[in-house]
Amino acid sequence: MNDVKIIADLKDNEQSRVAILEGGKLAEIFIEYNFNEDLLSPHSFSSRQTRQGDIFKARVDTVVPAISAAFVTLTAKSRNEPRNAYLYLEDGMTVKQGSEILVQVIKNARKNKAPRVSARLAVPGRWLVLVPGSNETGVSRRINDMAERKRLKSIADELRAEIPGFGIIVRTAAEGISQELLRADMSSLLSLWQDISAKAKNTPAPCLLYRDTGILGKVLRDEITGKIDQIIIDDPDEFTEAKSFVERFYPENPEVTLYTENTPIFEYFGIEQDIQRAIERKVWLRSGAYLVFDQTEALTVVDVNTGKFTSAPDMRHTVLATNLEAAEEIARQLRLRAIGGIVIVDFIDMDNQQDKRELVAHLEKCLARDRQKARVYSITQLGLVEITRKRERPDLKSILTRNCPVCQDNGFVEREENIAMSIKRFIRKISANNHTEAFIIQTNSFIAGYIYHYLDDWEKEFGRKIFIAAINDFERGKYRLDFQGKLEDAEAHAKELRGQKIIVYRI
């Protein structure tokens, strides 16, 4: 894979975003929110929710033998972090109501489903995974070279012999890594586990014992297995930490750059527009054909249409060319949108059996580049292709949107947190380019009321006075700069707006 860049937007406390660009195109986007949970709306999506990898000392609330499961309480009190989780009782495992147990989140909460946890714990490092309570070693299936697999298995067996009571899994990124570096990674993981164990002994359940690393660290540790050309970060503190991490764990030593321009980093690299396009139903292809994505609770349906594409010599080649191009884009969109579970693709009907085999083989080849395991099934009698893709994290649409408050399940709107962050980045941009004392921003009434609670923090951060005018007929997500200048003039203009019965928020 050529030209892999990581772009990290980490300036804001309320939201962190990391993008992976491959060949200049947005390949994946990772987003976490961290708004004040006491001020979030009931529909907010907060990163304070449990996420995969977190370790808890939980209390067993209910045992359901009929489905070999139990429901456990993870936290004592939290508004936006699910208190309850689903624990599958594996291999005859038994628990009693009221007992305490260490569990780890293996599936994130999504929509109306609680997170799923397991009593089998695993502490991930860059190259190894430490498995307490195990006595086995394993090597990632993605390492195909048999000689390298044998070398890594031998090293893992040797390391495990030194730490009875722990298993070791060698990760894909460990391919070609020396024994000395693998041993150092193991020592770091052992130290971390000792800290977790000590906290578990001294803290009553339910409680959080270990929260996984921040979003950039998680991407660098878990999502990248090949070469990175450049990492660009807009926050000085995160830049320093990332540089240290890269020097330790990336022998190829990719360039780590601190972004200092006034234009927001995602806007500068054109990522904002790509994110918006990634939640739209329709995706246009270069040929003029297009795809339509419909996500439901149970599965995702993708419809392929020829659209404006007519350049092939005959109908058969038009259909085949469209389907092959669609297969490439579908593989990219599944990864970009983080779509998991069952995916049904309605390709354009083909009669030729050779064309069908070529399409399935091409789709499998495109999906092979995906880090998440995906499987393609043959074309059904109805001409549909079934795909299953491992679900590792919430899909992009659920992070950025929610059900429309008017039509409920029949539509969706952009989440208020995301709109608030767009407005904050807009304020940062205009603050960096002038020295005015105050701003008046006009936006939708609901959004204005939502971000009112954050004005104090934003004013301290930017050193300006900020007024938010609530405009009833503004579309949700729409905003504009109404005034910038001296504070006394801003107050006078705000008074005029209030005279027009417009609510103007100020701290």
Helix (H) or strand (E) segment spanning residue 247: helix 236-249
Tracing tokens 């001409």 back to the chain, one arrives at 383
Residue where a domain stops, chosen among 184, 210, 236? 210
Within this chain, do residues 304 and 373 fall inside the same structural domain, yes or no?
yes
Within this chain, do residues 383 and 285 fall inside the same structural domain, yes or no?
yes
3-state SS class at 464: coil
Domain membership of residue 100 (yes or no) is no
Residue where a domain stops, chosen among 260, 276, 292? 276
Within this chain, do residues 261 and 283 fall inside the same structural domain, yes or no?
no
Within this chain, do residues 252 and 195 fall inside the same structural domain, yes or no?
no
Domain membership of residue 394 (yes or no) is no
Domain membership of residue 474 (yes or no) is yes
CA neighbor of 139 nearest in space, from 169, 159, 161, 167: 169
Domain membership of residue 105 (yes or no) is no
Q: Report the alpha-carbon distance of residue 265 to residue 258 in Å, rounded.
A: 11
Residue where a domain stops, chosen among 221, 247, 276? 276
Domain membership of residue 69 (yes or no) is no
CATH number of domain containing 367: 3.40.630
CA neighbor of 330 nearest in space, from 381, 269, 386: 386
Asked if residues 208 and 53 have their Cβ atoms less than 8 Å apart, the reply is no
Strand ranges of the sheet holding 299-305, from the earlier edge strand across to the other edge: 282-284, 290-295, 299-305, 341-346, 384-389, 374-379
Domain extent, residue 499, equals 415-505
Within this chain, do residues 235 and 292 fall inside the same structural domain, yes or no?
no
Token couple for 282? 């329709």
CATH number of domain containing 166: 3.30.230
Q: Report the alpha-carbon distance of residue 78 to residue 80 in Å, rounded.
A: 6
Question: Around Cβ 268, how many Cβ atoms within 10 Å?
Answer: 15
Within this chain, do residues 297 and 383 fall inside the same structural domain, yes or no?
yes
Domain membership of residue 28 (yes or no) is yes
CATH number of domain containing 439: 3.40.1260.20
Domain membership of residue 487 (yes or no) is yes
Q: Report the alpha-carbon distance of residue 82 to residue 108 in Å, rounded.
A: 10
Work out how many domains the chain is built from and give that number.
4
pLDDT tens for the chain, residues 1 to 507: 468 999 999 999 889 999 999 999 999 999 988 765 444 454 454 444 667 889 999 999 999 888 889 999 988 765 555 578 889 998 778 889 999 999 999 887 766 678 889 999 999 999 999 999 998 999 998 898 999 999 999 999 999 999 999 999 999 999 999 999 999 999 999 999 999 999 999 999 999 999 888 899 999 998 887 788 999 999 999 999 999 999 888 888 899 999 999 999 999 999 999 999 999 999 999 888 999 999 988 899 999 998 876 665 678 888 899 999 999 999 999 999 999 999 999 999 998 999 999 999 999 999 988 888 899 998 888 889 999 999 888 899 988 988 777 776 667 889 999 999 999 999 999 998 888 999 999 999 999 999 998 999 999 999 999 999 999 889 988 999 999 999 999 999 999 999 888 888 875
Within this chain, do residues 263 and 199 fall inside the same structural domain, yes or no?
no
Domain membership of residue 258 (yes or no) is yes
Q: Report the alpha-carbon distance of residue 411 to residue 414 in Å, rounded.
A: 11
Question: pTM of the entire structure?
Answer: 0.85
Within this chain, do residues 187 and 290 fall inside the same structural domain, yes or no?
no
CA 311, 386, 303, 330 torsion: positive or negative?
A: negative
CATH number of domain containing 41: 3.30.420.40
